């Protein structure tokens, strides 16, 4: 495996903001530095699909006001942008130029961020592999479908990037690339102007160097008090005894145990929790709901342009065509029932703590990895945070996932920041990722 942590390094948004607060003239240097990083690094990682012209980006930065004033942000190419071609990762939309911005892009601009470019997405945010390489381990995938967004932050191209999650497309790439990833409560951040795959699950995801940065961006975009204050009581984390889906590898299990030890040394508590049978039933429910909805949302592409679909997506949609309304209604009922029982998982605990992915990123670029540890939480609408900072036995990042109740995003982010601080403070150098 080839690692490159000494060359690729995430940028802290807080550090950049502190730098510009000390010297306002520094703000004018942020966008040129981002463009220079793209010129220097992107040929090697292939995170970007489009880059802002220098003069335009500098003009936007000079005019920017607000809490994110002048900070570069990269946006997944599943979101419409009036300033950039938006192809949704598909040759069907090659050269497509939207007339308007997605709502999340408008929010970025209103708050002073400078959209530096678009990032690679898997085709229509499904699972077909991309050419993006993992900056933390160049011989491995950056994950999917938000591969470009995770890689752009991991490489230090931008301090923030926007992604999405329908199964595991924010948390998994964040885990693989060693950065923070935040999937908000379903519906908290707007998806208008995002190419829809499954309207029951599509959720905006945020990438940043660390949890504190991700919380800042979430606060600005949501208008909710989500920034890390660090004055919460030490959390009580529930750690599952077993999983009704893919069991974690020894790598992921060891990383979780390291995080648990760090939490306990920092004053937090950990309790075992048990998943009942209804959690296992949600695996099929997610597949059924996603399939039924994708068959409709991508109906035009399948009916009119199926020859331009990847074999993987074509096969998925062909299978999805067999899901009837009765099966969909049954799966939706199972989802609704599960949401009424969700509180059971949090009895006596503040948050849940699990691996973010079954293992380190797979070798090569033939697979984007397994979203098994993420899908149920997406279905349930829970806020989830990938906490970076640890590595597996083969030297690549493996994250741990903090999961909260829907609309408990503030405490979820606080708990994730607690885990991150605990890892930094108490994990041994051999356990921590090079940052």
* DSSP for 370-387, written as a single string: --TTTHHHHHHT--EEEE
Nearest to 161 by CA among 150, 172, 175, 174: 150
Query: How would you classify the pairing of strands 351-355 and 236-240?
Result: parallel
Contacts of 223 (CB under 8 A, 6+ apart): none
The Cα–Cα gap between 87 and 78 comes to 7
- Catalytic residue selected from 12, 34, 76, 291: 76
> Which SS3 state, helix, strand or coil, does residue 90 take?
coil
Tell me what pLDDT residue 84 has.
98
CB atoms within 10 A of CB 339: 14
Domain 13-272+352-426 in CATH 3.40.50.2000? The answer is: no
Helix (H, G, I), strand (E, B) or coil at 402: strand
Question: Does the annotation count 169 as an active-site position?
Answer: yes
Q: How buried is residue 190: exposed, middle or buried, by Cβ count under 10 Å (0-12/13-18/19+)?
A: middle
Report pLDDT for 429: 65
pTM metric for this prediction: 0.97
Rounded Cα distance between 290 and 295, Å, is: 8
SS3 422: helix
What is the gyration radius of the CA atoms in the chain, in angstroms? 20
Give dist(CA 365, CA 109) in Å, integer. Answer: 33
- Residue 4 has a pLDDT of 41
Q: What is the dihedral of CA 298, 303, 309, 315, to 10 degrees?
A: 80
Neighbours of 254 (CB within 10 A): 17
Q: Which residues fall within 8 angstroms of residue 15, CB to CB, at 6 or more apart?
A: none
Residue 357 corresponds to which tokens in the numbers above?
């992915």
Task: Please say whether the beta carbons of 52 and 38 come within 8 A.
Answer: no
157 neighbors 37 (Cβ within 8 angstroms): yes
d(CA 37, CA 182): 24
Helix, strand or coil, per DSSP, at residue 262: helix
- pLDDT tens track of the chain, all 435 residues? 344 444 689 999 999 999 999 999 999 999 999 999 999 999 999 999 999 999 999 999 999 999 999 999 999 999 999 999 999 999 999 999 999 999 999 999 999 999 999 999 999 999 999 999 999 999 999 999 999 999 999 999 999 999 999 999 999 999 999 999 999 999 999 999 999 999 999 999 999 999 999 999 999 999 999 999 988 899 999 999 999 998 999 999 999 999 999 999 999 999 999 999 999 999 999 999 999 999 999 999 999 999 999 999 999 999 999 999 999 999 999 999 999 999 999 999 999 999 999 999 999 999 999 999 999 999 999 999 999 999 999 999 999 999 999 999 999 999 999 999 999 997 666 656 433
The sign one gets for the Cα dihedral 187, 188, 191, 197 is negative
| 62-98 pLDDT tens trace | 999 999 999 999 999 999 999 999 999 999 999 999 9
Q: Which of 87, 169, 222, 291 is catalytic?
A: 169
Q: Contact 195/373 with Cβ under 8 angstroms?
A: no
Structure tokens at 51: 């880059």
Task: Tell me the HSE value of 386 on the side-chain side, using a 13 A CA sphere.
Answer: 32
Residue 146 designated active-site: no
pLDDT score recorded for residue 427: 64
CA distances from residue 1 to 22, 348, 364 in whole angstroms, order as listed: 40, 42, 10
E strands in 227-311: 236-240, 269-273
What does the buried/exposed string (b/e) look like for 156-174 if buried means 16 or more CB atoms within 10 Å of the residue's CB? bbbbbbbbbbbbbbbbbbb
| Residue 376: count of CB within 10 angstroms of its CB | 24
How far apart (Å, rounded) are the C-alpha atoms in residues 4 and 157? 15
Report pLDDT for 7. Answer: 63
Of the candidates 377, 383, 374, 388, the one whose C-alpha atom is nearest the C-alpha of residue 417 is: 388
Active site residue 12: no
Q: Which two tokens stand for residue 215?
A: 């919380």
CB 88 within 8 A of CB 203: no
Instruction: Retrieve residue 8's tokens.
Output: 């690729």
Cβ neighbours for 62, distance < 8 A, ≥ 6 positions apart: 28
Torsion sign, CA atoms 240, 373, 421, 228: negative
Residue of 34, 90, 122, 145 marked catalytic: 145
- Per-domain residue ranges of the chain: 13-272+352-426, 277-344
Which candidate, 406, 378, 173, places its Cα nearest to that of 285? Answer: 378
Cα–Cα distance, 145 to 150 (Å, whole number): 10
């Amino acid at each position: 495996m080839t690692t490159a942590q000494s060359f690729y390094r995430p940028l802290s948004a807080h550090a950049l903001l502190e730098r510009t607060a000390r010297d306002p003239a520094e703000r004018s240097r942020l966008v040129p530095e981002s463009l220079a990083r793209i010129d220097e690094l992107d040929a090697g990682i292939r995170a970007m699909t489009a880059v802002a012209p220098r003069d335009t980006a500098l003009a936007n930065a000079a005019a920017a006001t607000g809490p994110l004033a002048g900070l570069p942000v990269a946006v997944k190419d599943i979101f419409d942008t009036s300033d950039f071609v938006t192809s949704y990762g598909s040759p069907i939309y090659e050269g497509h130029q939207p007339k308007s911005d997605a709502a999340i892009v408008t929010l970025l601009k209103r708050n002073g961020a400078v959209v530096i470019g678009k990032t690679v997405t898997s085709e229509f945010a499904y699972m077909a592999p991309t050419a993006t390489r993992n900056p933390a381990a160049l011989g491995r995938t950056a994950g999917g479908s938000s591969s470009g967004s995770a890689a752009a932050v991991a490489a230090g191209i931008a301090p923030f990037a926007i992604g999405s999650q329908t199964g595991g497309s924010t948390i998994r790439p964040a885990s693989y690339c060693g950065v923070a990833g935040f999937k908000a409560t379903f519906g908290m951040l707007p998806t208008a102007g995002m190419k829809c795959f499954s309207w029951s699950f599509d959720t905006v995801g945020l990438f940043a160097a660390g949890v504190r940065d991700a919380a800042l961006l979430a606060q600005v975009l949501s208008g909710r008090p989500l920034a890390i204050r660090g004055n919460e009581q030490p959390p009580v984390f529930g750690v599952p005894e077993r999983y009704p889906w893919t069991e974690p590898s020894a790598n992921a299990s060891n990383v979780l145990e390291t995080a648990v030890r760090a939490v306990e040394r920092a004053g937090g508590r950990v309790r075992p929790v048990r998943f009942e049978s209804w959690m296992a039933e949600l695996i099929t429910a997610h597949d059924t709901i996603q399939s039924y909805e994708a068959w409709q949302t991508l109906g035009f592409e399948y009916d009119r342009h199926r020859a331009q679909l990847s074999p993987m997506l074509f096969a998925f949609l062909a299978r999805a065509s067999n899901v009837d309304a009765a099966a969909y209604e049954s799966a939706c009922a199972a989802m609704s029932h599960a949401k009424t029982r969700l509180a059971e998982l949090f009895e006596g605990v503040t948050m849940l703590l699990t691996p973010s992915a079954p293992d380190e990123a797979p070798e090569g670029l033939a697979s984007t990895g397994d979203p098994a540890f993420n899908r149920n939480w997406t279905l349930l609408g829970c806020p989830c945070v990938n906490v970076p900072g640890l590595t597996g036995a083969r030297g690549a990042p493996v994250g741990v996932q903090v999961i909260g109740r829907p609309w408990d995003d503030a405490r979820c982010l606080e708990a994730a920041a607690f885990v991150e601080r605990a890892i930094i403070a108490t994990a041994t150098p051999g356990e921590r990722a090079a940052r």
